[in-house]
Chain A
Amino acid sequence: MESTLAELEKSSLEEIAKASTIEELEAIRVRVAGRKGGALAEISKGMGKLVPEERARIGKLLNQAKDSVERAIEAKKKLIDNEALAKRLDSEWLDLTLPASGVKPGSLHPLTQIRYELEDLFRSMGFAVLDGPEVEDEYHNFDALNIPSDHPARDMQDTFWLDGGFLLRTHTSPVQVRGMEHYPPPLRMIAPGRVFRNESVDASHEHTFYQLEGMMIDRDVSVGHLIYFMQTLLAAVFRREVKVRLRPGFFPFVEPGFELDIGCLICNGAGCAVCKHSGWVELLPCGLVNPNVLRMSRIDPDKWSGFAFGLGLTRLVMMRYAINDIRLLQSGDLRFLNQF
């Protein structure tokens, strides 16, 4: 009996090792360890004839053989499962270098992007962002800015005239006037927007472009304060320290008036084609607000003073991205716009 048992265990373990499916293993289990009619159960039937000592010993051997077979079956089952899973996973190979799905995000116009940057910067410095109409009247676009109708400075801004004596604003400066009309000093404001000049269009000239007007009215505002704000602004725009120079410039709404130049970012001042070999690039007009302008907006120039500047957003965008044709900005061409 003992030898039959050993023989059965040995042959069962061999069969289990050879089995390759769960079904085969199950068949072995039923045949060997099945509660009814299994080979081990058959053997245990003959135990009644044995003496008690012998019965206990054989019973123990019987249990050991059953355990051994069942453990072998479980171990083999796990092995087969793992192999099957590994096979499935392998079959699920995916090429993750294929293109992403879903709609590709669009992009904001570069002028919008630079405008947002500047709005955020100026808001953090206490400037409100104001808006004004694109169609203006003569008063806000010219007269209130100290440019009466017979002033030659009107020739500096070729104007689109409209029905009814209106015009397309030639600069964002009228928003200064509207700002002063609505908000008492002290006042800090910027006004970004679309402006128009009656100029023929080529790679570097546009009749429609974008400016950001800025103004600060407070007590004792000086040229030193203006330079401070301009340096802060330009360092943020160009993401580096920028050399700044003021030189006289004539704009009737400021006195003194300046042209602000920045050290050429291409050649760092050594001279190149971009800066016409001067080391400087003209960037923005600015100045202290002309007392006449304050007076026209009913602000007392003896109590208040201020600075104003007009930043060309179009120009900034072109400088930042090295855009060589201004017309691209309003071309609506996605081959251009999708790059931003």
Chain B
Amino acid sequence: MKFSYQWIRDFVPDLDTPAKELEQLITVRTAECDGIHPAGELLRGARAARVLSAEQVPGTHITKAVVDIGDGETVTVACGAPNCREGLRTVWVPLGRKTIQGIESNGMLASAAELEIGREHEGIIAWTSVAIALKPDQVIEIDNKSLTHRPDLWGHFGMAREVAAITKQQLRDPVDLAFLPTGSDSFDVHVGDGTLCPRFSALAFENVRVAPSPYWLQYRLTSVGMKPINNIVDVTNYVAAELAQPMHAFDRDKLHGDRLLVRTAHDGEKVLALDDHEYALSAADGVVCDAAGPVSIAGIMGGMESAVSDTTTRVVFESANWNASQIRKTSARLKLRTDASMRFEKAQDPVNTLRAIARAVELMKIVCPEARPAGGFTDISESLGELPVISLDLDFLNRKLGREIPRQDVVEILDRLEFRTEQAGDRVLRVTVPSWRATKDVAVPDDLVEEVGRMVGYDTITPAPPLVECAPPPDDPKRVWLRDLRALMTGRGYTEVYNYSFLSDPEAERFGLRPADAVRVLNPIASDQNILRSSLIPGIFANLQLNRKHFDSFRLFEIGREIHNQLPAMPKEVLHLAGAVYGADGLFELKRVAESIAPGVRVEPVSDALDYEHPARTADLFLGNVNIGRLFEAHPNMIEGRAAVLDLNLDRVLRERQPLARYAPIGRFPSGAFDLSIIVPLRLHSSQIENSIREFAGTLLERVEYVGQYAGPQVPEGTKSISYRVTVGAPDRTLSSADINAVRAGLIDKLQALGYELKV
């Protein structure tokens, strides 16, 4: 929202705080300012001028003009405007001297658009008065988001009230209700839905002459970012920008019948709106109709067919109050946000409709003096109800703010903001909320705490520690564990990445994710981010692809959530760790990571690897009987070079892992050991042999350790020799060599019985 400094000063005549300072004050007291922009800069030094002579420079569109700029001064100007002619009264601005087409040109003759006081840019402005009263202005830009709760601040008068309260100056109300014409209704209105439209005020004018508005008015509209159209439309826009009450003007002669009707739209009903776009409405939308059908989308945009044109001679002004949530819904559904809908969805003050009519009448007398009201004003209204009254306990106020504020100051602050206060007991004020703050904004004592707090200034509150018990709360074991995991990963060389939660359909398909498992985004930011990730792997593959270009080898990991569809229940979020090693012997390194995170993890190679997995280098990971993840090398079709990946379901690991319950005593007698070399088929899993050794070794077994394996000339083709060191011992004696040999012989027998050959 843009606010003209001069416009605000219309209502705070004694305002002498410079705009720059005012911007800061508004920011800390009321709403966030986004900066100040100059408006009408060229008006600085501009002078009313008369063209004394004008001659075209042959072969160009330039006119050499000798111009009287008043005070007996004459200048020569090179002017490119087609309407530059002898005798024209216009505006000259001092813009320095330069040579154009051989002409020593001093300053320039300006168009209305160049002066920023109107739309006309085709030729230089025609200016009839002898002086230029318009002065450069400054426009304070306020962040719309910070006005969300303040319907009153969508007009200059509302902001002026804040400024007057902040600077402790007098506030002047621009509205004089005495301008309201009385008599029988100038136009008939019927409101069929009082919830949709709590109030509808209207006034018809006759003998209207549509023309451009005076420049001062065009200047105001232009400086706050509105387009001047013609005197009638400009009046409605001016009132909206001043009083926050949107208005609309219908061409009376283009309305069918003698009455406007407010109702909800019929499903599928169509309106051609002022933006030349046809909108299909539903029963959830409001319309204003004439005898033939809708003539406007209620509170949002008027219809094209009844729009005011150059030939209009009779108009009906609408100044209505619309239901905020209704406007918001329709505006969102039609994707049609207008100056009017933005104001109405903030819940405008129904008291304001007649004030706007009164102000419009006053403006019409200036911009279209020949027009006259066609009767009295029309006003269809729900009962407006009492203004809310809030009991404000001053001790409550002080406790909330954390500082003492004298009663007198509280009363004065509320008074300047036009809240009425009465004493109600020793420490209590009865506060009546003004109508423009009562629609949604101020309802409970806490709201008044804010009013007082912001006006005394939060910088006057001394920071203070609360007097509360203070002991660190017990920590969440999962959080502690996750911290340990991150330390473990980084200690082993893995760098943490954060990947997005979004995937595309083709990505999901490439990674074999089940479509039914995917949570779909209904309004994705891009078509390739339309589902939520039900796996961390696609993100990790993207990381591998990217970093492969820059590094020969690297390690990375992510701890993040998989999101799985559980409709109609809430999606399930599962915490995963995904780690990757590129360009090194990563599988066994990652296996060690898995063992560190999930002690006792069992690796079970799978024969049905997925498309992105190396078919001969992929395994499931188990704790007990529970699958906790996957260890694999990326398929070379997916990633060039060797990339190993570990994916762990941390929720399952946390649930299944068995912390050590008690320790095993250390043996008091020395152990004995022997090695076994076993010839087995090349692709027999070592885990199977190890399990056999454990199973067959008997009760004296202490541990089995892998020593190494060999395949080559010294062993038969298609086999490998795999060696283990078997350590045996007893808790109560030192084993004799006979004991040890017995274990060894027994093992060899049983392993041979399985068909393995042993190198004895």
A positions within 8 Å CB-CB of B: 103-109, 111-112, 116, 119, 123-129, 131, 133-135, 137, 150-153, 156, 160-164, 166, 168, 186, 188, 194, 196, 198-201, 207-208, 216, 218, 220-225, 227-228, 231, 245-250, 252, 255-259, 276, 278, 282, 288, 290-291, 305, 329-335, 337-338
Contact = CB atoms under 8 A, between A and B. Distances in A.
A276 B35 contact: yes
Nearest to B567: A164
B149 A250 contact: yes
B490 A106 contact: yes
A113 to B, nearest CB: 9
B655 interface: no
Contact of A223 (B328, B402, B563): B402
Contacts of A332: 497-499, 539, 542-543, 546-547, 556
B47 to A, nearest CB: 33
B196 to A, nearest CB: 13
Contact of A199 (B29, B464, B525, B557): B525
A137 to B, nearest CB: 7
A133 B498 contact: no
Contacts of A125: 470
B519 A163 contact: yes
A215 B463 CA distance: 17
B30 interface: yes
Contacts of A162: 519-522, 532, 571
Ordered nearest first, which 10 A-B pairs have the shortest CB separation?
A: A224-B402, A150-B325, A222-B402, A256-B450, A103-B493, A106-B495, A332-B543, A246-B458, A228-B463, A227-B463
Interface residues of B, number: 91
B498 A109 contact: yes
B548 to A, nearest CB: 10
B145 A109 contact: no
A223 B458 CA distance: 8
A240 to B, nearest CB: 17
Interface stretch (B202-210, B272-280, B426-434, B475-483): B475-483
Contact of B571 (A135, A153, A305): A135
Nearest to B584: A103
Interface stretch (B260-268, B441-449, B609-617, B639-647): B441-449
Interface string B485-501: 01001111111111111
Contact of A225 (B150, B402, B473, B547): B402
7 contacts: A123-B472, A126-B470, A160-B524, A218-B466, A222-B400, A224-B461, A334-B550
B530 to A, nearest CB: 10
B346 A105 contact: no
A258 B521 CA distance: 32
Interface in B505-551: 519-525, 532, 539, 542-543, 546-547, 550-551
Contacts of B519: 135, 162-163, 166
B32 A249 contact: yes
B493 A124 contact: no
Contact of A224 (B401, B494, B520, B568): B401
Contacts of B501: 134, 168, 194, 196, 208
B9 interface: no
Given A222-B400, A222-B401, A247 B458 contact: yes
B401 A223 contact: yes
Nearest to A107: B495
B27 A247 contact: yes
Contacts of A290: 446
B101 interface: no
A30 to B, nearest CB: 46
Nearest to B561: A134
Contacts of B85: none
B498 A111 contact: yes
Given A247-B458, A250-B145, A255 B463 contact: no
B454 interface: yes
Interface in B459-474: 459, 461-466, 468-473
Contact of A247 (B32, B486, B497): B32
Nearest to B399: A220
A288 B400 contact: yes
A57 B145 CA distance: 119
Nearest to A338: B495
B508 to A, nearest CB: 15
Nearest to B466: A225
A288 B468 CA distance: 17
B686 interface: no
Given A166-B571, A224-B401, 4 more contacts: A106-B493, A162-B532, A201-B525, A225-B466
Contact of A135 (B450, B473, B573): B573
Determine which residue in B446, B523, B573 has the highest number of CB atoms from chain A within 10 A of its CB, and name it.
Answer: B446
Determine which residue in A129, A194, A248, A259 has the highest number of CB atoms from chain B within 10 A of its CB, and name it.
Answer: A248
B282 interface: no
B2 interface: no
